[in-house]
């Protein structure tokens, strides 16, 4: 079995780690952690389905529907994380634009016709911008609100590693799909690694949340 296939399978099933960790810690999770758990729970459906279905209208529909739900939940997660006036305006404007793009692209392409890779690419560009805005906000703040003892630190770190990589790979989706023998196909190895890393870091965030409540 090739390393790419091993990483692909590990990437698919790695989502169960934060899912079960979040469910076990559910009663101790705060708002941010509950949103992340919601994203993980929704992502579990298309990700596990991909282990049994390689392509088709059902998989397209589930992935496209998840992509729309994901961006809404991330908007909720980041909505109160940026306090600087100008950066907050940037967040609001980009959130409105990206939500509009999600609606338009979905209407134009439909949910089942194909996997809308452009949607994933645009959404992850937005996530990367929002994460950088949050980091800038924390850099300017006198009272640093994010540290490794906080669950959100691990969510931010996981997504910061994952989003730029996803943005790059899905911008090349059509080419990679049409040229399976291309060297660019090896980029999936990087995608799988960062996907696994993100879910591990989400699990660490849930555990930190549980620990904080246990120490009170």
For the chain, the structural domain boundaries read 3-209
Cβ–Cβ < 8 Å for 127, 194: no
Nearest to 41 by CA among 51, 33, 53: 33
CATH class of 3-209: mainly alpha
User: What pLDDT band is residue 177 in, cutting at 50, 70 and 90?
Assistant: confident
User: What pLDDT band is residue 48 in, cutting at 50, 70 and 90?
Assistant: very high
Q: What is the pLDDT of residue 55?
A: 80
Q: What is the pLDDT of residue 145?
A: 64
Q: What is the mean pLDDT of residues 165-184?
A: 82
Q: What is the pLDDT of residue 143?
A: 62
First-to-final CA distance of the chain: 48
Q: What is the mean pLDDT of residues 147-171?
A: 91
As a whole number of angstroms, the distance between CA 123 and CA 142 comes to 31
Q: Left, alpha or beta for 56 (phi > 0: left; psi -120 to 50: alpha)?
A: left
Token representation of residue 3: 């390393």
């Amino acid at each position: 079995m090739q390393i790419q296939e091993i990483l692909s399978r590990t990437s698919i099933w790695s989502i169960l780690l934060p899912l079960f960790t979040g469910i076990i810690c559910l009663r101790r999770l705060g708002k941010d952690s509950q949103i992340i758990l919601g994203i993980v729970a929704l992502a579990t459906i298309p990700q596990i389905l991909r282990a049994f279905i390689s392509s088709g209208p059902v998989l397209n529909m589930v992935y496209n529907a998840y992509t729309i739900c994901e961006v809404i939940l991330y908007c909720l997660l980041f909505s109160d994380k940026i306090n600087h006036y100008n950066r907050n305006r940037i967040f609001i404007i980009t959130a409105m634009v990206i939500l509009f793009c999600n609606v338009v692209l979905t209407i134009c392409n439909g949910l089942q016709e194909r996997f809308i890779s452009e949607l994933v690419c645009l959404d992850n560009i937005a996530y990367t911008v929002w994460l950088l805005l949050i980091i800038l906000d924390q850099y300017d703040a006198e009272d640093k609100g994010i540290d490794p003892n906080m669950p959100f630190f691990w969510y931010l770190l996981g997504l910061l590693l994952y989003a730029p990589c996803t943005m790059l790979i899905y911008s090349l989706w059509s080419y990679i799909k049409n040229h399976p023998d291309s060297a660019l196909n090896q980029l999936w190895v990087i995608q799988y690694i960062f996907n696994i890393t993100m879910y591990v870091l989400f699990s660490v965030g849930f555990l930190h949340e549980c620990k904080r409540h246990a120490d009170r």
